[in-house]
Amino acid sequence: MQRVTELFVAKRNERWMLQRGGIEHGKEHYPYIVLLHAMFLLSLFCEVMFFKKELTSLWYIVIPILAITQLIRYWSVYSLGYYWNTKIIIVPNELIVSKGPYQFMKHPNYVIVALEFLLIPFLYQAYMTALLFTFLNIIMMSIRIPTEEKALKEHTNYAEEFNLKARFVPKR
């Protein structure tokens, strides 16, 4: 349900950005990102059902960590406002958002997704799904992040604002 809601928000934000001259980048890999997330959920469901997986005995640790990741996700989305999207859409000459978790790192939302690909399967002891989709996500992000950063550098003040910030590990 969360992912479906995010797609509606992304569509609304896409219209807003395109009306302001936004340019989409990375169109060629976007369908693969959607497929990756859909297959992750399907794989998780199948592994749990077919192999009769149960909640880990460490659920009392994993669930609070997942809750914290969701708070950071919502903080990221809220901080970006109408600039948040599942696609790479850049409005030229706009100032880059550097508040919220973006004051500490370049890509907090990608960190959260990576953690979800590990933690959600771990919660159900679906280790094959965790390993496979963590690996696939690394491949996908090795394409997406350079594409996004290149577009941001070309069209915004990204290079100046994020020059000293780490990609994934918080740094002040």
Q: What is the pLDDT of residue 162?
A: 86
pTM for the model stands at 0.91
CA-CA-CA-CA dihedral for 146, 11, 106, 97, to nearest 10: 120
% of the chain surpassing 70 pLDDT:
95
Q: Where are the domains of the chain?
A: 2-162
Q: What is the 3-state secondary structure (H, E, C) of the chain?
A: CHHHHHHHHHHHHHHHHHHCCCEEECCCCHHHHHHHHHHHHHHHHHHHHHCCCCCCCCHHHHHHHHHHHHHHHHHHHHHHHHHCCCCEEECCCCCCCCCHHHHCECCHHHHHHHHHHHHHHHHCCCHHHHHHHHHHHHHHHHHHHHHHHHHHHHHCCHHHHHCCCECCCCCC
Point out which residues pair with 90 in neighbouring strands: 23
pLDDT, mean over the chain = 95
Note the pLDDT tens digit of each residue in 97-142: 999 999 999 999 999 999 999 999 999 999 999 999 999 999 999 9
- Ramachandran area for residue 8 (φ above 0: left; ψ -120 to 50: alpha; else beta): alpha
Q: Which CATH class is domain 2-162?
A: mainly alpha
**Span 36-52, average pLDDT:** 98
What's residue 172's pLDDT?
A: 59
58-108 residue pLDDT tens: 999 999 999 999 999 999 999 999 999 999 999 999 999 999 999 999 999
